[in-house]
Amino acid sequence: MEEKYRILKEYFGHDSFRGGQEEIIDALCAQRDVVCVMPTGAGKSMCYQIPALISGGAALVISPLISLMHDQVMALIQSGVKAAYINSSLSPSQSDKVMERMRQGCYKLIYAAPERLSSERFRAACAESDISLVAVDEAHCVSQWGQDFRPSYLDIEGFISSLPKRPVVGAFTATATENVRGDIVRLLGLRDPFCVTTGFDRPNLFFSVMSPTDKTGTLLSLLRDRRGRCGIVYCSTRLAVENVCALLCNKGFDAVRYHAGMTEDERKRSQDDFVYDRASVMVATNAFGMGIDKSNVSFVIHYNMPKDLESYYQEAGRAGRDGSEAECILLYQPKDVRTAKFLIEHSEPNEQLSEREQRELRLRDETRLKYMTIYSTTNDCLRAFLLRYFGENQTGSCGKCSNCLLHYELMDITVDAQKILSCVVRMRERFGSKMVCDVLRGANSERVRSLGFDKLSTYGIMKERSESEVRSRINSLITQGYLEQTDSDRPILRLTKSSGAVLRGEERIETRVLKEPPSKKGKSDGAPADSALYERLRALRLELAKKASVPAYVVFTDAALREMCRSLPTTEEELSAVNGVGRVKIDRYGKAFLDEIRAELSQRKQGETSGE
């Protein structure tokens, strides 16, 4: 068996690679730099872990996420891989011990924060170690145009150049525009990199947008229906986190909170309670989640709309990391847009950027917010909208989002589209959606009259439509590429190359409209048919995890337990066929799980005999 497949099966328990993984692994093993853009939960870490195990040296993983270091090192050790991390959670003597063992070649993977690269002692330890690969996680942080720029990432290229022998370099991120990808290559000093952008689709995720009048009541109802399952509730502000967490605790949910205003000890306690399943619900700001490798998160609820789709997709992607069915629910209210605008306008300025660059960055943030708002209000397929935003040509219905499951019908809006496009032309393409909507609906405002727009032929030609209907038509034209919004302080509507055919009557435009209220039918959580055995295996897993002082999902994932319930393995060979069950875990935990399954089968046989 080829070495990469042997390692994949022996250490990670998988028989095949996911999309993009094998190509990236092959490139790194061939000593070629790579840029990997792969969505959250799609398996980026394995792309550098397997080359590290194949190589003669060790991989240095640079990550800003202390929680990722801890979780991945813990999971690697459980799988039989020698790994360690160096970060601020270690004492000086502990760090010294790790660096000494680095020099001795005791580790295959070492995790460190980018700030650690400025330490002369750490640089010296790396120079005296056999570093065969440098993996840069969250690589978009090197670009000022990324959604999470970190100045310390600018030191990485100099650090790599200072090593006695330049290792192969891999840059990994979940989201990166074309400009950001260019910055990654340039600022990290990558040499002729092999670039892979895998499909952004996560088929196991169900996307849903709700617009409740009573958001609190809706949240409580959602959590009652999902009681006993593990999930994250994201809020946009610290105050909202405090209020929502207090509400959930008062209603009997085992919830914990996480935000930047808490002390480090408080955040660590909350995170540990969630990771070790002492609490099933985490209520948090976006300060929580990056690097959390918890595989059994079955739902992510956004109590408030995020500022951009990059953040939303990354946060929502923390559900279903083990491949199980999971839900991503957004609770949208118009006031969320105002909150997001406030957060953008009052964000801390980046002192390393000029005033012009800061202004440009803010305009980009505002543009991202526009697309986030359109996603929250569209009637189109949510999955297709997300994939198109990230550059994938996706059309039609996915059959697996709230919009696709509602009873919509196609409506011809060609005439309305012609009215809107004509109005934009007559207003000389100098105004935004609000003013265009006012003119079309015949608003009798001083602003409209002072500009003479009440004299236009398009004034009031859609007065029979509500404001929300007109805005929905405008958003649909933007989504379908017949209108565009400029990136400016006051975004304005402009026609595109596709607009002319509509105005000339050469092309029809359709949009989806809700025909009847959504079904009340609940959604399956993917639980196995034999739920009793599943619960016994979960209890056994928890018992073993406590003895090993690791989170339960590190022993086996929920997906692995469900597969055991379906296949009912009774031998080590049969257990090894379960996805995610490697040799080390069979040696460590296999007997206990096989005994439990054999006992179940014996009980079933006795039941059948007594029934006869």
Q: What's the mean pLDDT when you consider all of the chain?
A: 87
Last residue of a domain, one of 484, 514, 544: 514
Least-confidence region, from 240-254, 356-370, 412-426? 356-370
Separation between Cα atoms, residue 17 and residue 420, nearest integer Å: 49
pTM of structure:
0.69
Please compute Rg for the chain using Cα positions.
Answer: 27
Percentage of the residues of the chain whose pLDDT score is greater than 70:
92
Tell me the mean pLDDT in the region 458-473.
90
pLDDT in tens, 110-147: 999 898 998 999 999 999 999 999 999 989 889 877 66
pLDDT band at 522 (very low <50, low <70, confident <90, very high): very low
Do the beta carbons of residue 129 and residue 105 sit within 8 Å?
Answer: yes
pLDDT band at 425 (very low <50, low <70, confident <90, very high): very high
Do the beta carbons of residue 322 and residue 553 sit within 8 Å?
Answer: yes
Last residue of a domain, one of 172, 197, 222: 197
pLDDT in tens, 365-412: 888 898 999 999 888 889 999 988 887 877 777 888 988 887 667 789
Domain range holding 604? 531-611
Which pairs count as long-range contacts for 219-228, CB under 8 Å and 24+ apart, including other chains? 219/244, 219/301, 219/303, 219/331, 220/247, 220/248, 220/251, 222/299, 222/301, 222/329, 223/248, 223/253, 223/281, 223/301, 225/522, 226/298, 226/299, 226/525, 227/253, 227/280, 228/280
Range list of β-strands (E), 222-294: 230-234, 255-258, 281-284
Asked whether residue 556 carries a pLDDT value surpassing 60, the answer given is yes
DSSP per-residue codes, 93-128: HHHHHHHHHHHTT--SEEEE-GGGGG-HHHHHHHHT
Whether 185 is in a domain gets the answer: yes
Tell me the mean pLDDT in the region 431-435.
91
Whether 190 is in a domain gets the answer: yes
Whether 233 is in a domain gets the answer: yes
Closest by alpha carbon to 44, among 58, 57, 28? 28
For position 458, what pLDDT does the model report? 96
Asked whether residue 38 carries a pLDDT value surpassing 70, the answer given is yes
For position 610, what pLDDT does the model report? 61
**What is residue 68's three-state secondary structure?**
helix
pLDDT band at 564 (very low <50, low <70, confident <90, very high): very high
Separation between Cα atoms, residue 69 and residue 85, nearest integer Å: 6
Tell me the mean pLDDT in the region 266-287.
91
Closest by alpha carbon to 496, among 477, 469, 512? 477
pLDDT band at 175 (very low <50, low <70, confident <90, very high): confident
Asked whether residue 201 carries a pLDDT value surpassing 90, the answer given is no
Closest by alpha carbon to 142, among 185, 206, 106, 102? 185
Highest mean pLDDT among 86-90, 192-196, 405-409: 192-196
Whether 86 is in a domain gets the answer: yes
Q: Are residues 120 and 63 in the same domain?
A: yes
Asked whether residue 532 carries a pLDDT value surpassing 90, the answer given is no
Asked whether residue 527 carries a pLDDT value surpassing 60, the answer given is no
Asked whether residue 25 carries a pLDDT value surpassing 90, the answer given is yes
Whether 101 is in a domain gets the answer: yes
Least-confidence region, from 94-98, 129-133, 321-325, 330-334? 321-325
Whether 522 is in a domain gets the answer: no
Asked whether residue 572 carries a pLDDT value surpassing 70, the answer given is yes
Do the beta carbons of residue 244 and residue 219 sit within 8 Å?
Answer: yes
Count how many domains the chain has: 4
Separation between Cα atoms, residue 98 and residue 84, nearest integer Å: 7
Separation between Cα atoms, residue 163 and residue 156, nearest integer Å: 11
Do the beta carbons of residue 403 and residue 476 sit within 8 Å?
Answer: no
Q: Are residues 147 and 230 in the same domain?
A: no
Tell me the mean pLDDT in the region 49-58.
92
Do the beta carbons of residue 134 and residue 170 sit within 8 Å?
Answer: yes
Asked whether residue 211 carries a pLDDT value surpassing 90, the answer given is no
For position 350, what pLDDT does the model report? 67
Separation between Cα atoms, residue 370 and residue 487, nearest integer Å: 10
The CATH number assigned to the domain holding 560 equals 1.10.150.80
Q: Are residues 153 and 110 in the same domain?
A: yes
Whether 358 is in a domain gets the answer: yes
Q: Are residues 508 and 576 in the same domain?
A: no
Closest by alpha carbon to 140, among 390, 487, 336? 390
The CATH number assigned to the domain holding 438 equals 1.10.10.10
Q: Are residues 336 and 480 in the same domain?
A: no
Q: Are residues 185 and 75 in the same domain?
A: yes
Do the beta carbons of residue 368 and residue 308 sit within 8 Å?
Answer: yes
Q: Are residues 25 and 174 in the same domain?
A: yes
For position 179, what pLDDT does the model report? 80
DSSP per-residue codes, 539-608: HHHHHHHHHHTS-HHHHS-HHHHHHHHHH---SHHHHHTSTT--HHHIIIIIHHHHHHHHHHHHHHHHHH
For position 518, what pLDDT does the model report? 42
pLDDT band at 234 (very low <50, low <70, confident <90, very high): very high
Tell me the mean pLDDT in the region 5-21.
88
Tell me the mean pLDDT in the region 509-531.
56
Whether 293 is in a domain gets the answer: yes
Q: Are residues 73 and 7 in the same domain?
A: yes
Q: Are residues 239 and 356 in the same domain?
A: yes
The CATH number assigned to the domain holding 85 equals 3.40.50.300
Last residue of a domain, one of 514, 549, 578: 514
Tell me the mean pLDDT in the region 291-295.
71
Asked whether residue 254 carries a pLDDT value surpassing 90, the answer given is yes
Q: 171: part of which helix (H) or strand (E)?
A: strand 168-173
Least-confidence region, from 115-119, 226-230, 411-415, 485-489? 485-489
pLDDT in tens, 75-85: 899 889 999 99
Tell me the mean pLDDT in the region 57-65.
90
pLDDT band at 283 (very low <50, low <70, confident <90, very high): very high
Percentage of the residues of the chain whose pLDDT score is greater than 90:
50
Tell me the mean pLDDT in the region 463-474.
88
Tell me the mean pLDDT in the region 200-220.
90
Q: Are residues 418 and 377 in the same domain?
A: no
Q: Are residues 563 and 502 in the same domain?
A: no
Q: Are residues 417 and 536 in the same domain?
A: no
pLDDT band at 528 (very low <50, low <70, confident <90, very high): low
Least-confidence region, from 173-177, 384-388, 544-548, 598-602? 173-177
